[in-house]
Amino acid sequence: MHRYGVREVEKLLHLPRSTIRALIEAGFVTPVRGARNAWQFSFQDLVVLRTAQALASSNVPRKRITSSLRELRRHLPETMPLSGLSICAVADRVVVKEGANRWHAESGQYLLAFEGDPEKGALSVIERDPKARSASALDWLERAAALETDDVRAAIRAYERALDADPQLLDASINLGWLLHEQGDLAKAEKVYRQGLAATPDDPTLLYNLGVLLEDQDRKEEALAAYQSSLRGNATLADCHYNLALLYENLGRPKDAIRHMAQYRRLIGTRSK
């Protein structure tokens, strides 16, 4: 069975390390320890991680998430099936489709799509809200996720089409901004993040990503404000505390740097126990 390191999981799922740690601490996945005590994740772990994060972001109660994921994990194959895999909601039941077969996990008012093959460097679970998002936006979002590995420029265009159809499509804003940042188009990436924040104000992930982008442009005070806003939305983002600590040190504010580094270490220590 192929195992994935933390860096691979971050790249495949576009999840910050702090979120991965939080989901492990919450008991949604239990990765094994590999060389040098590093976490090693299975294919099933990847599916469960991204699904848990999407459901938690949709404010699905933890008890429902836990029961759904327990059943989901029990039925998941060890590798991506050739026929593909999708997770969706029909009425009040979570339905998993593998080829021509369908089965339900637990009830939940959400709709998810699973795209990609981790062996080819792509894996995503995309939250859907049928009441708020148009089918065309979701179609473009899924197409973009599938294109990321083989054709980045086409993926960028598809994410742009998704946001044209639905400016509140949070995953599209996060993924598009990240791709543009990776491609070195910092001005356009910033525009995407700010438009995303206008449509979905105060989202911690968008604010964190914006902070990283601003810091890469040596716009320290603006990055500082973005990181602080991110933590107001989610004070458990360990990576944000870490970045803030380094930034405060760079700005000559050692007391603030020590405070955030201590918070970072506390969060990491708590989640590694």
The full DSSP string for 222-248 is HHHHHHHHHHHH-TT-HHHHHHHHHHH
Tell me the mean pLDDT in the region 30-40: 82
Residue 86 lies in a domain: yes
Choose between 42 and 265: higher pLDDT.
Answer: 265
109 pLDDT above the threshold of 70: no
Prediction pTM value: 0.54
120 pLDDT above the threshold of 70: no
42 pLDDT above the threshold of 70: yes
Residue 55: predicted pLDDT? 65
Residue 123: predicted pLDDT? 47
| Total domain count, the chain | 1
Residue 87 near residue 125 (C-beta atoms within 8 A) = yes
> Rounded distance, CA 241 to CA 228, Å?
9
Q: Which of 47, 43, 54, 44 is nearest to 19 (CA)?
A: 54
Tell me the mean pLDDT in the region 75-87: 51
Tell me the mean pLDDT in the region 49-54: 72
pLDDT tens figures, 137-188: 888 888 888 888 788 899 999 999 999 988 888 889 999 999 999 999 999 9
Cβ burial of 209 (10 Å; 0-12, 13-18, 19+) is buried
Tell me the mean pLDDT in the region 22-30: 76
Choose between 172 and 70: higher pLDDT.
Answer: 172
Residue 239 lies in a domain: no
Q: What per-residue string of b and e applies to 37-65 under the rule 16 or more CB within 10 Å gives b?
A: eebbbbbbbbbbbbbbbbbbbbebeeebb
Q: Distance between alpha carbon 3 and the CA centroid of its chain, in Å?
A: 19
Residue 199 lies in a domain: no
Per-residue confidence band for 72, with pLDDT thresholds at 50, 70 and 90 = low
Q: What is the mean pLDDT of the chain?
A: 76
Tell me the mean pLDDT in the region 117-127: 48
Residue 13 lies in a domain: yes
Residue 66 lies in a domain: yes
* CATH number for 9: 1.10.1660.10
Residue 123 lies in a domain: yes
Choose between 94 and 195: higher pLDDT.
Answer: 195
Share of the chain above pLDDT 70, in %: 67
Q: By residue range, what is the domain housing residue 99?
A: 1-131
Residue 29 lies in a domain: yes
Residue 206: predicted pLDDT? 93
Residue 79 near residue 2 (C-beta atoms within 8 A) = yes
18 pLDDT above the threshold of 50: yes
